[in-house]
Amino acid sequence: MMNEFTLERRVGADAEAVWRAWTTREGLASWWWPQLPDTTYEIDAQVGGTYRFESKDAGIGVFGEFTVVDEPRLLELTWIWIGGDAQDEPDRVRVEMRPDEAGTTVVVTHRVNHHSDPGDGLRQGWGDVLDRLALLDG
């Protein structure tokens, strides 16, 4: 079974600023899960590099590996939930940053490769984090 969905947000910052927001600990901490103060962010944004975002208090987290890194326009990565159901194959996430004169459009496509239906929770989670990213400016 495979489900895929795409979400898009406009960000009033240039592609380089949006790239830093996605690829640095400081950038991620400003918008990913700021409401979870114990969240840790480990990231090595290069092909074969890994990432891990985790809130032990909330019991949630995700980790994976970067498969495509094309600064400042494209990230592709594997996605494995920490503490979730066993996944035969990691999910895949593609993050496109499309700059224009007014900022950057961010397009996230999440391909779910495990056997459980992600339902609206995964889509809602992405919507929440992307709504916070959209507040980034300049």
Q: For 21-61, how does the pLDDT look when each residue is reduced to its tens digit (9 = 90+)?
A: 999 999 999 999 999 999 999 999 999 999 999 999 999 99
In a domain, 56, yes or no: yes
Distances 81 to 12, 63, 104 between C-alpha atoms, Å: 30, 7, 28
Look at residue 67 and tell me if it is in a domain: yes
* 25 within a domain of the structure (yes/no): no
d(CA 69, CA 93): 12
**60: in domain:** yes
Report the alpha-carbon distance of residue 12 to residue 77 in Å, rounded: 24
Of the two residues 15 and 121, the one the predictor is more confident about is: 15
Q: Which two tokens stand for residue 59?
A: 């019991």
Number of domains present in the structure of the chain? 1
**44 lies in which domain range?**
33-93
| Arithmetic mean of pLDDT, 87-96 | 90
- Assess if residue 17 is contained within a domain: no
| Residue at 69 is within a domain | yes
Distance of CA 19 to the CA centre of its chain: 11
Name the β-bridge partners of 97. Answer: 106
State pLDDT tens for residues 98-127. 999 999 999 999 998 865 555 678 889 999
pLDDT band, residue 83 (cuts 50/70/90): confident
Residue 13 belongs to a domain = no
According to the model, what pLDDT value does residue 1 have? Answer: 47
From residue 11, alpha-carbon distances to 40, 77, 101 in Å are 24, 21, 11
**Is residue 77 exposed (0-12), middle (13-18) or buried (19+ Cβ within 10 Å)?**
buried
* Residue 78, in any domain of the structure: yes
Q: Give CA–CA dist 94/77, Å, rounded.
A: 7
